[in-house]
Each structure stands twice: as structure tokens, then as C-alpha cells.
Structure 1
Amino acid sequence: MTCFIVHACAFDCAPTHGEPNNMTCEPIEIYRDIFVHDRPLMDTRAPIEYSKGSFPLATNLPLMTDDERAQVGTCYKQQGQEAAIALGHQLVHGEIKAARVQAWRQFCEQHPTGYLFCFRGGMRSQITQSWLKESGLDYRYVPGGYKAMRRFLIDDFERQMQQNSLVVLGGHSGNGKTILLNELANGLDLEGAAHHRGSAFGQFVNAPSTQINFENQLAIDALKINAQGFRSFIVEDEGRNIGASHLPLSLYHKMEQAEIVVIDDPLGVRLGRLCQEYVVQMHQQYQQAFGEEAGWHHYCEYLQQSLFKTRRRLGLERYEQLSLALNQALKTQARTEQVDGHYAWLEPMVRDYYDPMYDYQLNQKKDRIIFQGNYADVKAYFTHQADAA
């Protein structure tokens, strides 16, 4: 029922709202439509499979729980396919089956243009679709399932790295590189895909992406840019790793050879952006996620632990000074809600830690710099380039 997957031969769901019909479209056309147009997806794989990686708009509504899947898998290995199928139906029947079908129906009714999928578009998809039909609802499933969609994304991304050009956007911390990337139609936000900003202070409130989710999101973002007619991408200057995620080698090697455009804003402007991003916004996000009291605790812990990660490069004495300044700024913020006190540790952190480190890195590739200016100048440069293309 789960551990043995057979390929589906017929795709008999009726199309809705003019979307591709499983019976008439090539699978690759279906995959492209799903990702370019953000079709909702119902992932019927077990939670443990989903947790390792899925797609941005996928909701996990499994046919079987992890425990049920494990039991069926053991049965399949020991007694064969027929016994495993029988056990699967024994485990998922009656009220359990009814509850799962009801959850599937709710999803399908809320998302009539979506699809369901399992690992290979085999038995789990067919059973889910069959039970939905028994309840009076037709719904499409993805031919080839998760495996085929993932392969499509990997292959398409590699193709784009071979065929399309790339420009790297550089600049010191606080120059607004990520902000600008998201204002440009062909900006590819690597940090957004990784769900991490790539520095000691780079974690988000929620967990970073798994490697699979990072690669899937990155490929989907590139696919959407390409679908708009762009044949070039703009990416932020990054190392091989962003948090726990590592860049696909095809992208990283292309970045190593790409031309570079550098944003160069004054330190005061940069500090204002950093304070807004790492202090004001992170405080707000932690409170939204955990509530006022617990959110404050998590926010303070985030700043203190992030600073702690830099202690070796800073040196113990410098770290102690900045730690005292940070704790004082937090006390002031808690008492008055004012955040200006954070500049006392932010400025030396940027000036003495991040700037020298990036200056050294940028100097290694200075021969590839083709334009340099403040935020407005760089935005105008890219806008002109897009208009001239």
C-alpha cells in the first residue's frame, strides 16, 4: 500500500478551470504548470517523508501515518505485496478512513485547481483518488509523483544555469542587497530560499529550509523568472553555504565567474537597515510567533547567541565589550521600547568584524566588478539594463 510503489498508467481526473488534463498533457507540461502557476498540492506521503522535503505549496495529508507506513513496510518485506495491501486496508478503515477522506475532500474543495501526489504517482495516489471518487469527488494526481517533480526541477535548474547569464550583487552588510533583489523581476533570492541570511545573525524565527526544500524553492523561483522571459538572473554575493544549505555546484561555479555589481551606501544608512532587520523586525516576528513574554525571551536569546558565535573572530575582550553593550541595549529596549541603544554594539560589529571580512573577500574578485554605487544608483543601473535588453 505504501512501501511498494507502482507507476500509474491512467490519469482519469477531469480537468478544472482549463488547467492541463492529465490524459492529454505530457507530464513535463503538468510539472511546469504546477510550479509556474502555484498550483496547490496535497502530499499523501507519510509525515517523515514530507519533513525531509516537499514543495512550497504542498500540504501534508497522508494516506498513512509514519507508524502505519512502517508496519506495512515490514509486512511487505516479510510476507509480500498482497499481505501488505491487506494490512494497509486493515489499518486505515472505518472512522480513520472517513476522517482522512474528509480532510482530503476539504482540501480539494478549497483548492479545485490543485493536484494530489505520492512518491512516484503510484498506489498511494491511486488509492487516495479512488477513495475521493467513492465520496463523490474527482481530483487529479501528479503523474510520476514527488520523484518526477523533483527530477524535473533539478534538470530544469541545471539547464538554466547552462543557458542563462548571471550577475552577482555585492556590498557590505546593511547595503540592502536582499531588499533590492526582491524589487528586481529577475532577482533570485538565495537567502529567502534557504530561509537563512547566511551570517551569525542570519537565522529566521522559523526553522531554516532543509537542503531539499532549499533546492526545490530555488529551482521554482528560477523557473518563474524564466517563464517571464528573462534569460539572466541576479543573485546576492554568497559563499558555498547559506546556513545549513549549500548552493548547487552549477550555480556556485557560475557565481565564481560572474560579473559583480556592488552597492556602497554610507555606514549610517547601513546601520539603520540592520537595526530595522535584526532588532525591530526580529522582535516583532518573535512576538508574533510566541507571544509577548516568550517572544521577548526568544528574541533576546537570538541576539545573544548570534553575537556569541562571533567571539573567536572578535577576540574575547572585544566580545565581552559588545556583549555588555547588547545586554544594556536590551534592558533599555525592555524599559522604554527604544532601540537606538543597539547601535552601540551594531556599529563596532559591522565596522570591525563584518566590513573587514567582506573587504578581503571582495578584493579577491575586484577585477569582475562592472558597476559600483549607492542603492539608488545600482537599482537604476539594473532597471536600465532590463529596459535595454
Structure 2
Amino acid sequence: MCNETFEDFHQIVMNKIPLIDVRAPIEYNKGAFKNAINLPLMNNEDRHEVGICYKEKGNEEAVKLGHRLVSGKTKESRIEAWVSYLTLYPESLLYCFRGGQRSQISQQWILDNTGIVIPRLKGGYKSFRNYLIDALRPAAQKSKPIILGGYTGSGKTILLKKLKNSIDLEDIANHRGSSFGKFTSPQPTQINFENNLAYALIQHKSSEYRHMILEDEGRNIGKCFFPKDLAEHFNSGPVIVLEAPLQERIKLTLDEYVLQAQSQFLEIFGHDTGLEKWHLSISKSINKIKKRLGLERYSAVVTALNSAYADQLNTGKHDKHNAWIKILLQGYYDPMYLHQLEKKSNKIAFKGNALEVLQYLNNYL
């Protein structure tokens, strides 16, 4: 029996080693790791049957059933999928839930049919997951957090990407961090969010930066949330406020929430329905904050949005979208962020425009 194992989880993170997850799709979809592909030994139905057999008749009978279910052409197709992936990524590693029978069987079948020895993760998914959870502890962080704040549309994410020692939390969560923050692609599961965040923290730590620059976030980014103690650690740092005039903020918001967003919808849904789906998505987002906007302001935003959308369909121009963006910034986002900023007034260390803030933060690598 092949028993080659690998347990240097730090190396997996730092070298972005490809992983083959041989668990059933239902397990993989709940949570997996970066650079992992799901090439299961058993499908969901087979796993369910084997699980019942294990409970009723024990491990030996469950293993026999598993071999009967995954045999013949099914077994051949499993081996073919693993070998095809290994041809592209020969440095790959195998894992199942605890690094036990499923990954051992997969490992042995590959060896028997190809002569290839592929190591499996020692302890499997569970051990690697525990390693990543440990990386999320505040005590595991060596660099000091610095929070980049600023009103909506001030260009925080743009500036963040110019800093070597930053971590883009919104990118990890695949969400812009506001009521209008959804992308066309879904957010990761909570488990995947935590795993991906752990990857980023481990890689950041290995660079030995003295500081970690993070955008000012609440505990949640869309449906993803930070562990409470980690969120408190992130928010313990000084606040740097990025300032930008209103017209510049409107322009940046137009680019992100209209131009870029529409481009994504068009790419996915095509020209016939892409713009319509974008308009529906924005309308739903506005409706979600109806109570907080108030009836009068809500009506004004909806009217301005519908007018701008109709004009765009007729002329192909986007200029009129500035109107509803301005109402939202001045009437909703600015008062809300001002209130949040006032609560952090004693933590504000610096204020300035994009160039000034960039120069300031470049001193904190």
C-alpha cells in the first residue's frame, strides 16, 4: 500500500501547490482550498450509500461496497481524470477529509495504473483546515494593522492595490462591501472565505512587513464575516482617511457600479438581457435600503435611475447616471460614513488626497 504523505502546509500556501480533492462534490462545495480541484473518488449518492453501510455494518463492509460502486468503467474514468490533471500539474497533492481511506485508495490506484507516486495530505482536509484557522488568530499576526478609510467612491481600493503590504479584503470576499456590492459571480462560502483569508495572512506574514494596510470594513463583507477577535484586531490600528472631492467620487462610483458592472452583466448574459439584468440588480439594491433612505429620497433615486437607464438605452451614453449616484452619496452614504468616522476620531492619524496618502503609507512597509 502506497503511504506517501505531505504535511508542510506552509509550503502549500507559499508555493500555491495544486491540490486534488477526492471528497464528494457536496463536501467540496461546502468548503475547500485555493488551488484545489474536485476530482472525487465517489459521487454524492455513492458516498451516501457507503455512509449508511458504515453505520449499519461497519468499516469493512462499507469499504467493500465502495469498491463495488466505483469499479469497471467508473473506476477507469476516475483514474483517467486524476492522471490527466497530474500531467498538467505533476506537483499536485491528494486529500480527502481526514487523509484516510479515500485518498489512500486514490493514491494506490494512481500508482498501480501509472507508476506515479502522488503524496496525500497528512490528516487530510481537517488538518490543513485547522492550520488555516490557526492563522486567523490575532496572536498569529506579526504586522500591525493600519486602516484605510474614506467616503464611498474616494478610491480606497485603487490606492490599496498600489501598496505592497496591503490585503484586499473585498477581493477575498468577492464583494464591494456595500449594499450595491454584489458581483455577478457569487461570494465564496464562509469556509472558503476564511481559508482564502488565511492564505493571504500567511503570505503577508512571510514577507515580514511591519504593517498591514486594510480597507475600513465592518465585521461583514456581504454574507462573509470575520472571526470576532480577528475583526477587533484589524480595527485596532490607526485610521488613515483618503479624501476626494465629490465630483471625483461620483466619477469613480460611475466607473465601478455602472460601467464595469454593466460590462460584467453583458459578458455573462449577452447584449439582449445584460443591461436589463444590471438595471434589475441595481433596483433591488436600492429597494433593500428603502427604509433607511426615506420615501422622498428613495423616490428621487429610483426616478433618476430609471431616467438614466432609459436615456442610456436611447443614446448609449452614461452621463445621466451621475444624478442618482450623487443623491446616494450625499443623502445616504456620506452621513452614514461620517457617523462611523466620528466614532473613530481619536484614531485618525492622517488625512489627505490619494497622492498624499500613498506617500504617507509607503513609509509603513
TM-score, normalization by structure 2: 0.96
Aligned 1:167-182 pairs, distance under 5 A:
167-182=146-161
Task: Give 2:252's match in structure 1, choosing from 273, 283, 288.
Answer: 273
Measured after TM superposition, the shift of residue 281 of structure 1 is: 0.7
Equivalent residue for 1:357? 336
Preserved CA contact (<8 Å) 1:161 1:250: no
1:114 aligns with 2:102: no
1:161/1:292 Cα in 2 relative to 1: closer, same or farther (>3 Å)? Answer: farther
1:309-339 deviation per Cα after TM superposition (whole angstroms, max 9, x unaligned)? 1111111222112111111211222232211
Q: Which deviations, in whole Å up to 9, do the C-alpha atoms of 1:107-149 show, x marking residues without a partner?
A: 1111112212111111111111111112212222211111111
**1:4 matched residue in structure 2:** none
For residues 336 and 308 of structure 1, the distance between their equivalents in structure 2, rounded to whole angstroms, comes to 26
How far residue 374 of structure 1 moved from its aligned partner, in angstroms, is 0.7
Q: Secondary structure of the residue that 1:340 maps to in structure 2?
A: coil
* Shift in Å, 1:156: 2.1
C-alpha distance in structure 2 between counterparts of 1:297 and 1:122, whole Å: 50
CA distance in 2, matches of 1:152, 1:103: 28
Relative distance call for 1:275 and 1:61 in structure 2 (3 A) is same
The 8 Å contact of residues 168 and 259 in structure 1, kept in 2 or not, is answered as: yes
Shift of 1:188: 1.3
The 5 Å alignment of 1:65-104 reads 65-104=43-82
| Letter aligned with residue 260 of structure 1 | V
Q: Quick one: which amino acid aligns to residue 35 of structure 2?
A: L
Conserved 8 A contact 2:145-2:236: no
What fraction of aligned residue pairs are identical, expressed as a percent? 41
- Aligned residue in 2 for 1:299: 278
TM-score using structure 1 length:
0.90
Name the CA distance, whole Å, in 1 between partners of 2:316 and 2:124. Answer: 50
Q: Which residue of 1 aligns with 2:33?
A: 55
Aligned residue pairs total: 364
2: CA distance, partners of 1:162 / 1:109: 37
Instruction: Provide runs of 4+ in structure 1 moved above 3 Å.
Output: 159-163
The one-letter code matched in structure 1 to 2:4 is F
Spell out the pairing of 1:304-319 with structure 2 (5 A cutoff): 304-319=283-298
Q: Which residue of 1 aligns with 2:345?
A: 366
Distance (whole Å) between structure 1 residues aligned to residue 364 and residue 90 of structure 2: 40
Residues 36-64 of structure 1 show CA distances to partners (whole Å, capped at 9, x for unaligned) of 12111111111111111111211111111
Q: CA deviation at 1:293?
A: 2.1
CA–CA distance in structure 2, aligned partners of residues 38 and 214 of structure 1: 17
Q: Secondary structure at the match of 1:135?
A: helix
Contact 2:4 2:118 in 1 (8 A): no
Amino acid at match of 2:161: N
How far did residue 162 of structure 1 move? 4.9
CA change 1:87–1:63 in 2 (3 A) is same
Question: How far did 1:243 drift?
Answer: 1.0
Counterpart secondary structure, 2:34: coil
Choose which of 294, 303, 314 in structure 2 pairs with 1:335: 314
| CA distance in 2 between partners of 1:385 and 1:376 (Å) | 15
Give the Cα–Cα distance (whole angstroms) in 2 for the partners of residues 159 and 115 of structure 1: 29
Q: Does 1:11 pair with 2:38?
A: no
Tell me, in whole angstroms, the C-alpha distance in 2 between the residues paired with 1:201 and 1:338: 21
Looking at structure 1, the residues matched to 54 and 339 of structure 2 have their Cα atoms a distance apart, in angstroms, of 58
SS in structure 2 at match of 1:199: coil
- In structure 2, what is the equivalent of residue 153 of structure 1? 132
Asked if the contact 1:161–1:254 (Cα under 8 Å) also holds between the matched residues in 2, the reply is no
Instruction: Letter of the 1:375 partner, please give it.
Output: A
RMSD: 1.6
Task: Give the Cα separation in 2 of the matches to 1:175 and 1:289.
Answer: 28
Deviations 1:60-109 (A, max 9, x none): 11111111100000010011111111111111111111111111111111
Helix, strand or coil at the partner of 2:121: coil
The answer for the alignment partner of 2:303 in structure 1 is 324
Larger mean Cα displacement after TM superposition, 160-169 or 200-209: 160-169
Matches within 5 A, 1:255-270: 255-270=234-249
Equivalent pair of 2:138/2:233 in contact (CA under 8 Å): no
Q: Give the C-alpha shift of residue 211 in structure 1.
A: 0.9
Given the superposition, is the C-alpha separation of residues 158 and 9 from structure 1 closer, same or farther in structure 2, using an over 3 Å criterion? farther
